[in-house]
Amino acid sequence: MISVNELRTGVTVEVEGEIYSVVDFLHVKTGRGGAFVRTKLKNIRTGAVLDRTFRAGERISRARIELKQMQYLYHSGEEYFFMDTESYDQVSLYTEVLEDAPKYLVENMVIGIQFYEGKAVGVDLPTTVDLEVVETEPGFRGDTAQSATKPAKVQTGITIQVPLFVEQGELVKVDTRTGEYVSRA
């Protein structure tokens, strides 16, 4: 049990039998009456966001999330297979648990998988991943005076906007939070 005064962004808690991650919090002290903590909680299983206010000093259960480093092996339909890098055990996860992760998964890539009570509940992708451009139109020097972009399809099948100088076969860094081009790899 932890006090709501100790809540910080990223802390996982159990509220009404569900597991939530703290997205945002604000400690408020009014002129009259007691202090309270206004929070925005994201349900780890469903992704739904809940706004919840707690009285200062109230105690809630902290959820213990275990993060295991696992290597992505392959996928078959909606099922993705991973191997624990320490015990070599294999786990299969469906796209509901992975959410947007399949857009950035490359074979042999190591990612963090979150487990709660032995069940996979989410993934922890690196901030950026290196992906190969497999299809894009050639860019010509002098096409524009400002930084223009063009669509490029990467090896995982998603299409991102890249600068005109990026050519087919190059590796580019892609931000996994926004899906945007960051730089050449």
Tens digits of residue pLDDT in 135-157:
998 876 655 556 788 899 999 99
Task: Determine which of 49-53, 96-100, 103-107 has the lowest per-residue pLDDT on average.
Answer: 96-100
The answer to whether 66-124 and 128-184 have equal CATH topology is yes
CATH number for the domain whose boundaries are 66-124: 2.40.50.140
Residue 141 has a pLDDT of 62
Q: Which CATH class is domain 128-184?
A: mainly beta
Judge whether residue 159 has pLDDT over 60: yes
Q: Tell me the one-letter amino acid at 169.
A: G
Closest CA to 120 of 97, 100, 99: 97
Q: What's CA 34's distance to the chain center, in Å?
A: 36
Decide if 131 contacts 155 (C-beta within 8 A).
yes
CATH (one of 3.90.550.10, 3.40.718.10, 2.30.30.30, 1.10.490.10) for 2-62: 2.30.30.30
Q: Where are the domains of the chain?
A: 2-62, 66-124, 128-184
In this structure, what token pair is assigned to residue 142?
A: 């002098």
